[in-house]
Amino acid sequence: MSTNVESKASLKTPAYAAQSAKSPLAPFTIERRKPQSHEVLIDILYCGVCHSDIHMIGNDLGISIFPMVPGHEIVGRVVEVGNHVSKWKKGDIVGVGCFVDSCRQCKACHAGEEQYCEKGMTLTFSGYERDGKTPTYGGYSTRITVDENYVLRIPEGIPLERVAPLLCAGITNYSSLKHFGVKAGDKVAVVGLGGVGHMTVKLAHALGAHVTVLSHSPNKRDDALRLGADDFIATKDESAFKDNAGRFDFVFDAVSAQHDYNAYLNLLKRDGTMVLLGLPDPSPVAAALLVFQRRKLAGSLIGGIRETQEMLDFCAEHGVAADVEVIPIDKVNEAFERMLKGDVRYRFVIDMASLK
Ligand SMILES: [Zn+2]
Ligand SMILES: [Zn+2]
């Protein structure tokens, strides 16, 4: 009897899905494939809840595919490996981030920056596999089958639920901090102390930068300092922008709601760089703020596989992990509501043992 039939067999897998744009998540069964030659099957232990999960369920970018199983901050255990897998064995604790494949041939892929793949990376959820027709389902499920080259090794020493958010929020920061050359002693401003922003504080601090958190809410001061910030500016106070003009080498802005960049650009020194990490709606930029002080406005998107591994190892070495609130999966719709109100410190993580 051919083993081919068995090797292609699918695995019925419990998940939570949105059936259409903006609909609440509800139990749903998906099919995962048995691992093919270079794939591993992972039992998911934890999955972080990212703001982009909400964006994608809302079809805010117009690219969503339904039914949708969100989740791209996945930590789990390898339970089965394909015949030709060389990197992993049963029992390994591994991670999966925002993408599960890419073309592997373009300049970006060769450079190890698969997130900028010229043919488009394969998103972990709400994307299509390289065949262009098999939809991808994310980490709000009990298991996932992934190519071995798109899997990360989770170093020991960090509680696994606190690792999950590193796979999106963590790498988003690490890659941009590295790319734009943030180093010890640099003056770094962080706009917005949310899921991504709290990791900017921790990682910039671990790199030795002098970190200042800018927030509308004065009551975030204690948290900001506890997370590693050296200073805090309450932006409710209009004079804050005048008093701190020209002060920073970098501004990292992870705010995902529409807002005015210009006030923040003016906080940069000559040659300073403001980096956008969120995807807010368009907002006008005053050219003079860039031109007169040779400032730069830039953006950055997650990171490649090699750099994500480097980030995980860096975090283990420096004791950096996300601050999380662990929830069972039936609380996920409530978690979305709370995130929209900024009521989370600082990332929800789903304990997948709650999904049967
Ligand atoms: Zn994310
Ligand atoms: Zn590519």
**Separation of 131 CA from ligand 2 center, angstroms?**
14
How many of the other CB atoms lie within 10 Å of CB of 328? Answer: 12
pLDDT at position 31 is 97
Q: How many CB atoms lie within 10 A of CB 256?
A: 20
Of the candidates 234, 179, 222, 199, the residue with the CA atom closest to the CA atom of residue 312 = 199
What is the Cα–Cα distance from 230 to 125, expressed in whole angstroms?
37
Angle at 322 between CA 247 and CA 62, to 5 degrees: 85
Q: Is the pLDDT of residue 240 over 80?
A: yes
Ligand nearest to the CA of 301: 1
- Residue 126 contacts residue 64 (beta carbons within 8 Å): yes
Q: Say what the pLDDT of residue 126 is.
A: 98
Strands 26-33 and 10-17: antiparallel
pLDDT surpasses 80 at 187 = yes
Rg (CA), the chain: 21
Task: Decide if 283 contacts 297 (C-beta within 8 A).
Answer: no
Question: Would you mind telling me the total number of residues written for the chain in this entry?
Answer: 356
Give the number of the ligand closest to the Cα of residue 119.
Answer: 2
Strands 231-234 and 210-215: parallel
Q: Please tell me the pTM assigned to this model.
A: 0.95
In tens, the pLDDT along 290-328 reads 999 999 999 999 999 999 999 999 999 999 999 999 999
The answer to whether residues 244 and 267 touch, using CB atoms and an 8 Å cutoff, is yes
Question: Is the sign of the CA dihedral 260, 63, 305, 50 positive or negative?
Answer: positive
Reported confidence tier of residue 55, pLDDT bands at 50, 70, 90: very high
Residue 257 CA neighbour count, 13 Å, CB half: 7
Among residues 310, 329, 244, 293, the alpha carbon closest in space to that of 15 is found at 329
- Do the bridges between strand 187-191 and strand 210-215 make them parallel or antiparallel, or are there none, so unpaired? parallel
The whole-number average pLDDT for the span 92-100 is 98
The alpha carbon of 282 and the centre of ligand 2 are apart by a number of angstroms equal to: 27
Q: How many whole angstroms from 39 Cα to the centroid of ligand 1?
A: 23
Instruction: Kindly indicate the confidence band of residue 238, based on its pLDDT and cuts at 50, 70 and 90.
Output: confident
What CA–CA distance (Å, rounded) separates 260 from 102?
A: 34
Q: Please, which residues have CB within 8 angstroms of residue 328's CB and are 6 or more apart in sequence?
A: 350, 351, 354
Q: Is the pLDDT of residue 4 over 80?
A: no
> Coil, strand, or helix at residue 292?
coil
pLDDT tens, residue by residue, 117-154: 999 999 999 999 999 999 999 999 999 999 999 999 99
Q: What is the mean pLDDT of residues 51-72?
A: 96
Nearest listed ligand to the Cα of residue 303: 1
Q: Token pair of 156, please?
A: 């020991």
Rounded distance from Cα 149 to ligand 2 centre (Å): 14
User: What is the residue type of 351?
Assistant: D
Q: Give the residue from 70, 69, 16, 79 showing the smallest Cα distance to 42.
A: 79
User: How many angstroms does the Cα of residue 112 sit away from the middle of ligand 2?
Assistant: 9
What integer pLDDT is reported at residue 302 of this predicted model? 97
- pLDDT at position 3, please? 43
Angle at 333 between CA 330 and CA 339, to 5 degrees: 125
Do residues 200 and 173 make contact, with C-beta atoms less than 8 angstroms apart?
yes
Return the pLDDT at 8: 61
**CA–centroid distance, residue 37 to ligand 2 (Å):** 21
63, 125 contact by CB (below 8 A): no
Ligand 2 centroid from CA 116, angstroms: 7
The string of DSSP letters for 122-156 reads EESSSSB-TTSSSB---SSBSEEEEEGGG-EE--T
Assigned token pair, 119: 């043919």
φ, ψ dihedrals at 330, nearest 5°: -75, 0
